[in-house]
Amino acid sequence: MSRQLLTHLAKILPVMSLFALTLAAFFAPSALAQSTPIRPELIWQAQHLKPVASTLKVKVGDKAPDFDLQAIDGSRIRLSQYLGKKNVVLTFVPAAWTPVCSGQWPGYNLVRDLFERADAILIGITCDNVPSLHAWVAEMGGVWFPVTSDFWPHGKTAAKLGILRPEGVSERAIFVIDKKGVIRSIDVHDINTRPDLGELAKALEKIK
């Protein structure tokens, strides 16, 4: 293979990857739903909720507040443990055993390389307790990233960020945080729909 061809491929491959991810995001409602192995009878069919019901307490450019959460494997996960080492993506979902959440997190199994290329760790957070989260993740077939509980003090981490809803669950939200602990992107999403994977890919491209 000629040097000119290799140079050309090096230039276009990142663009092609982003295009592929954007297509995946476009088709996500059908394609990613198929990656959810949960038996339908275990899914609680939540009613349509107000898209956003909280007020953000942070903004892009702020230092992200630290947290100390228990993961379902028994470990403790802190934002500070990744400072200077990894970019961090926090994915908050409202509740285990619900339809959109049960499709969103398994979907990230299909794009693990997206985070690896950005030298980023993905951390899942909900206000559910650890036993419920453990059973839910096991039923989904597992995920590659740590899943943590913001159950007690209830919703403390979500409240620090301003995404704790009045009904006691977090918003469906994604925070992209760089290695210095600075928030680089915030997506407080319509709680009833899955976030756009293409937008997350763009945010990660900016902090590589």
- The per-residue pLDDT for 194 is 95
Short-list 81, 107, 79, CA closest to 93 = 107
- The per-residue pLDDT for 36 is 54
pLDDT along the chain (208 residues), means of 10: 43 42 40 58 84 98 98 98 98 96 95 97 98 97 97 98 98 98 98 95 92
Q: Does the pTM of the predicted model rise above 0.85?
A: no
- The per-residue pLDDT for 200 is 96
| Domains along the sequence of the chain with CATH | 3-38+54-205 (3.40.30.10)
| Phi, psi angles (nearest 5°) of residue 174 | -130, 130
- The per-residue pLDDT for 12 is 38
Strand order across the beta sheet in which 87-92 lies: 76-78, 68-71, 147-149, 120-126, 87-92, 172-177, 183-189
